[in-house]
Amino acid sequence: AEEVGGGDKEVVREYFNNTGFQRWKKIYGESTEGVNKVQLDIRIGHAKTVENTIAMLKDGGPLAGVTICDAGCGTGSLSIPLAREGAIVSASDISAAMVAEAQERAKEALGGAARLPVFQVSDLESLKGKYDTVVCLDVLIHYPQNKADGMIAHLASLAERRLLLSFAPKTFYYSLLKRIGELFPGPSKATRAYLHSEKDVERALEKVGWKISKRGLVTTQFYFSRLIEAVPAQ
Ligand code: SAM
């Protein structure tokens, strides 16, 4: 029997191997060809989230030799700069297309100059092992809160020192809805987007003995992302 909402993951996998892959590859790329105003805005917002994540990580000390799990790595926007900092990066994504693209970009960007991230096709729920740091950026948006709790608990169980998560905060619900309405006047081209309240995320962390230690927020016109760092409560 399929668990409640279990079909969501298949839809997400399918989307990020096909239309979603094409769309996000473009948004997370460098070329402006065929990139519309909204996509450009999202690119800028996302780049800021990556930048803030790296700053938050470095705030805890240099990254050289630090093991980092980048769960839901997409095209490698975070994994690549982390590898450049000398981190030992394990990057994974549910989408094989994303992983192949990330691998390409990493080879191109890093060459022999840094230890390449180790890439793997895997949904984050199946990830095993222990890492100093676990990061999961802009993935929770694909999961309703009842699924997000389990994901958060699992990610925390992989992390020894800290977990960084970003998600679309529910406080921006109406503005996002309005903008999505402007974005998709016809039949929606996207998968469902789930916003999360910070309290719910905090509760999910508390349930497994973790607490939020740092907070950041990026908002542009079409992009909203709350970034948190969590650590074991004692
Ligand atoms: N974290 C990357 C970044 O910030 O550049 C990519 C963000 S993109 C909006 C969301 C990514 O999450 C997609 O690459 C998608 O395939 C991946 N994803 C969605 N659900 C996942 C899951 N359950 N396990 C692993 N990856 C997942």
For 45, 77, 113, 122, 225, the CA distances from 48, given in Å and listed in that order, are 5, 11, 24, 26, 10
Cβ–Cβ contacts within 10 Å for residue 57, how many?
22
Confidence of residue 175 (pLDDT cuts 50, 70, 90): low
DSSP element (H, E) containing 92:
strand 88-93
The tens digit of pLDDT for each residue in 131-168 reads 999 999 999 988 888 999 999 999 999 999 999 999 99
The complex scores an ipTM of 0.99
pLDDT surpasses 90 at 5: no
Separation of CA 8 and ligand 1 centre (Å): 13
Separation of CA 72 and ligand 1 centre (Å): 4
In sequence order, the β-bridge partners of residue 226 are 167, 217
Q: How many residues does the chain have?
A: 234
Query: Ligand 1: which of 21, 94, 224 to mutate, most ligand atoms within 8 Å of CB?
Result: 94
Separation of CA 49 and ligand 1 centre (Å): 14
Q: Tell me the three state secondary structure of residue 1.
A: coil
The tens digit of pLDDT for each residue in 11-58 reads 899 999 999 999 999 999 999 999 999 899 999 999 999 999 999 999
Domains of the chain and any CATH numbers: 7-232 (3.40.50.150)
Sheet of strand 159-167: strand arrangement: 118-121, 88-93, 67-71, 131-136, 159-167, 224-232, 210-219
The tens digit of pLDDT for each residue in 104-121 reads 999 999 988 889 999 999
Of 186 and 160, which is predicted with more confidence?
160
pLDDT recorded at residue 1: 30
